[in-house]
Structures are given as structure tokens and as C-alpha cells.
Amino acid sequence: MVEWTSGVPLLVVCTARPELLARRPGWGGGKTNALTLALSPLSDDETTRLVHALLEQAVLPADLQQTLVERAGGNPLYAEEFARLVAEQGSAVDAVRSLPETVQGIIAARLDALPSEEKAFLQDAAVVGRVFWLGAVCRMGSVARAEAEQRLHALERKDFVRRARRASVEGETEYAFRHILLRDVAYSQIPRAERAEKHRFAAEWIASLGRPDDHAEMLAHHYLTALELNRAAGKDDPALAERALPALRRAGDRAMALAAYEQAVRFYASALELSPSDDPERPHLLFRRGQASYSAEGSGLDQLTEALEALRASGDDEGAAEAATAVGKLLWYRGERDRALVYVDEADELLSTRPPSPAKANALLRRSAFHLVTGEFPETLALAREALPIVEGLGLDALRARVLNLIGWSRVGIGDPEGLRDLEKSVEIAQAANEFEHLHSSFENLRASQFALGQLAEASATVRRHSESTESAGRGKLADRRWVEVLRAAEAFRQGS
């Protein structure tokens, strides 16, 4: 994929190692598996030849050509937008004489030259995003579909938008701005007082599609933007906040399921800002925020502890046990093992008389993992096997992968090579369920077990599979992704490459 910036240099985006973008997460459209390469600006001669090719004429008057070259500054996008401005004005001479200083200026001039109804339609489309759908823009501007299609055909002929061959929303016609700057300039021309209402319309259209999980992030974005614009204008809209809260919560859950932990933290934090102190869902939201913070950056103790206190006070034993287990896990990894065991003991006590549940399985597995870290393999195996029928009975694939991981690793630890089969099954289940956190642990324990048993070729193959899985997902904890890089480097060193 190629992105052109408003200035120079040109940016080329391609897949690569995700950590290379850690310092500039906006590069590559926010994709963590992208690499941005800076290319040199065009020379004056190259700019001139590009303009001539775009205009399909050999030469411009020398003084006008010099002005154009100076303004372009080697940016090919400037030259491209200039050519479109000429096509619309009908005169290269007039276009150069009124030439704005920046690409944004040229785009703004092109927008201002549009008929008012086309310009308004394009601005509504800009609210939806670089990619937009006919139904959304019709709803926002109260435009009949047939009339909207005519406007889009006109805008497509003028190179503002292009139609997608396939729509990502079933039953809709999808378009995209030809360049992100076209969308940004069109959006910037909308009076600020109108933007919040337009984002609300966009959110309502997305919600009307009836696929809240698939569209969770997009819906949350529009509600959040509408709220932020209202706050900036000093307006309070309780009804909007009420609709935004479940959308933000769902977007956080979706991000967590995809191991996009930094995004999950942002969504949950925004949801907590909207959540009333007496909201019965608030403790669970605090718990999710704490889990996301732990996975993103190893923090979250304050949110998890607050959630635990609130769940205790409300009499939610299941929720309190989950929170206590999570607090214990975080403290354990911080080296506070005595404190960690206190919380895991509390979880066990809360659940001792309750029927099988995910919380009960989690508590057993957390204690099992503690024994694994200290090399107490028989205790690890006994607790994991106690959890297995609970997990299988409840159909919890994510926890089943974790159970088999613990069983397999502890079996190898006591000298039983058949534990490798459990570890392979753990990898298989975690991959099928897209459980990235469990998948990382399963791959790593499988590799370590193979290496410990002298199966060096198999261990090398597991490192490759682990690396491929991490790169293709482009998600997961940063620490886990870095660990895979360490394994690859160690493997290359071992093989002399």
C-alpha cells in the first residue's frame, strides 16, 4: 500500500516487524505490522515532467512553471492535485496564478468550486471516514438514494472519490476518498458546531445495521468524537452519553478478544468516564480495564483492586473471585508472591461451595501456574487435572488451551514425554480460538519442552511457527512479541546464521 503525505517525503507502507512503529503509532494507518520508508522528494525536473504528463501538454510558460515547481517542493501529490485543478478550471495559466501554497490549499480550492450540494455531500461523507457508505451519507444529509448516487457519480468523475468493487457492509454501496487529505480537508471545512450532530447520525446508522460486535470500534469512534466535540463546545448531552457507554464497553471487549490491548485500555477508560458511580456494571468495567492495562503494559493493579472491593461489597462472589485471581496474578509477576497467594486463597474460599464456573476454573489454574513456576510439577498437574472437567463441561476453549498447556508442561517436567501431545493440542486449540495470550504461552512451553528433550529440529520448527503466528496476527502483548524476536535471534545464533 502507498500513502502520500501533504509534504515530502513520500511514504511507502508495507508489512514488517511491528516494533519498528512503536515510537510513531500513527504511521502506516495505525497498523502495528507496517513499516514506513521515507523517499527523497522529486527533483525540479522530475516535478516538471510529472506535471506535463498529467496535463498531457509539453510545456507551461517559464515563469508559471517555476512558480509551480517552487510551490510543489518535490511533492508528487501537489503536482497531481494541481493537474486536477487545471482540469476543473480549464486553464493552466489561471490555475498557476491562483495557486495556493499547500496541497491542502489546492484541495480546499477544488472543494470550494464544487456545487454547494456536492460539497455538502462530500463533507457528510468525510464524517463517516476515508471509507464511507451510501446509506450513511444519505441518512446524515437526509438525501434520497437516487439523488445521492447522482452526486457520487459526479464526484467520482472529478476524482474526489472512487467506488469499491466490494462493500464491507452487506447491502450497501461503498466508496472511498481518493486520498486521505481529500477527506481531511473536506472534514475541516465543516463548522465545528455541526460536527457532533453529524457523528451522532453516523453512529445511529452504524447501530441500525444490527451487527454491534463487527462494528464495535467504528460505532465507539463516532460516539466518542461526538461527545468530545460537545464537551469542547460546553454542551452536555446525557442521552448521547447513555448510548455511547455500551458501545465503548463493547468496543473494549472486542479489542481484548483481538489482543489489541492498548485500544482496549482507551475504550474502557472512556467508558469509565461515562459510567455513573452507582452503575452496577462499573465494577466489571474496572475489572476489564485492569486486565487490559496489565496485558498492555503490566499495570492495572489499582483498577483490579478497586473492582475487587466493589464486587465484594455487592456480594458478587464469582466476580470478586475473578478479580482476586487477577490481582494475585499481577502481584505474582511483580515478585510479591506472599501477597499473591493471599488473593488466590480468597478466590478459592469465595468459590469453595459454588458450582463449576469459569471463575472457579481460573482460580484453580492460577494456583496451578504458581506451582509450575516454582517447579512443583506434581502439584501443577493435580490442580490442572482438577480444572479440566470444569473447563470441558462449560465448553471454555480458551481455558482448555491453558489447562492442556499446564498439563503438558508439568508432564514433561516429571519426565513424561507424552506431555508434548498435550502441548501440541494446546497450540491447536488456542490458534482455532484466536486466543493470542494462551497461544504465546503454549508455543513457548512446547518449544522449551522439545529443546529439553533434545528434539532440536522440532524446537526450531516451533520457533518458526510461533514467529509466523505472531507476525500474521500483529497483535498481543509487546513483551510477548519481543520475546519471539529474542527466540528468533537465539535460533539464528545456534544455527550459525
Reported as a pLDDT band with limits 50, 70 and 90, residue 136 is: very high
C-alpha atoms less than 13 angstroms from C-alpha of 195 in its C-beta half-sphere: 21
Domain assignment present for residue 403? The answer is yes
The whole domain housing 419 covers: 391-497
Give the whole-angstrom CA distance, residue 310 versus residue 294. 19
Q: 473 in a domain, yes or no?
A: yes
pLDDT at 356 over 50: yes
Residue type, 307: A
State residue 260's pLDDT score. 86
CB 303 within 8 A of CB 289: yes
The whole-chain average pLDDT of the chain stands at: 83
How high is the pLDDT of residue 27? 45
Grid cell in block for residue 273: 468516564
Query: What is the pLDDT at residue 30?
Result: 44
Residue 407 resides in a domain: yes
Closest CA to 143 of 134, 156, 153, 131: 134
Identify the burial level of 97 via C-beta atoms within 10 angstroms of its C-beta, where 0-12 means exposed, 13-18 middle and 19 or more buried: exposed
Q: pLDDT tens-digit profile of 4-44?
A: 444 444 444 443 333 333 434 444 444 444 555 555 666 77
Q: Write the DSSP assignment of 230-285 as a string of letters.
A: HHHTT---HHHHHHHHHHHHHHHHHHHHTT-HHHHHHHHHHHHHHS-TT-TTHHHH
Angle at 457 between CA 452 and CA 459, to 5 degrees: 45
pLDDT score of 262 more than 50: yes
Locus of grid cell 473494549: 252
Quick one: cell of 110? 477544488
Contact 313, 281 (CB under 8 A): no
Q: How many CB atoms lie within 10 A of CB 132?
A: 25
Strand order in the sheet with 34-38: 2-3, 11-15, 34-38
**Does residue 458 sit within a domain?**
yes
pLDDT tens figures, 43-52: 777 767 776 6
131, amino acid identity: V
Residue 289 DSSP SS3: helix
The string of pLDDT tens digits covering residues 192-240 is 889 999 999 999 999 998 887 788 999 999 999 999 999 988 888 899 9
Residue 318 in this model has a pLDDT that exceeds 50: yes
**CA quadruple 286, 368, 363, 332: dihedral sign:** negative
| Residue % of the chain over a pLDDT of 90 | 52
381-398 tens-digit pLDDT = 999 999 999 999 999 888
- Alpha-carbon distance of 279 to 45, in angstroms, equals 65
**291 burial type by CB count under 10 A (0-12 exposed, 13-18 middle, 19+ buried):** buried
Overall number of domains in the chain? 2
Model confidence at 174: pLDDT above 80: yes
Task: Determine if the peptide bond prior to 9 is cis (ω within 30°).
Answer: yes
- What average pLDDT does the segment 53-82 reach? 65
The answer to whether position 102 is within a domain reads: no
Q: What integer pLDDT is reported at residue 36 of this predicted model?
A: 55
DSSP, collapsed to helix, strand or coil, labels residue 34 as strand
Q: Is residue 33 part of a domain?
A: yes
Phi and psi, residue 281, nearest 5°: -85, -10
The CATH number of whichever domain residue 453 belongs to comes to 1.25.40
In a domain, 83, yes or no: no
Q: Please check the confidence at residue 435 and state whether its pLDDT lies above 70.
A: yes
What average pLDDT does range 450-466 have in this prediction? 91
pLDDT of residue 22: 40
DSSP 169: S
- Burial class of residue 451 (count of CB atoms within 10 Å of its CB; 0-12, 13-18, 19+): middle
In sign, the C-alpha dihedral spanning 399, 401, 404, 410 is negative
Considering only 136-145, 344-353, 479-488, which range has the smallest mean pLDDT?
479-488
Instruction: Take residue 139 and report the three cell numbers written for it.
Output: 441518512
Name which of 418, 394, 416, 402 is nearest 369 in CA terms.
402
Does residue 373 lie within any of the structural domains? no
385-392 long-range CB contacts below 8 Å, 24 or more apart?
A: 387/361, 389/356, 390/356, 390/357, 390/360, 390/361, 390/364, 391/361
Would you say 174 and 140 are in contact if contact means Cβ atoms under 8 Å apart?
no
pLDDT score for 493: 79
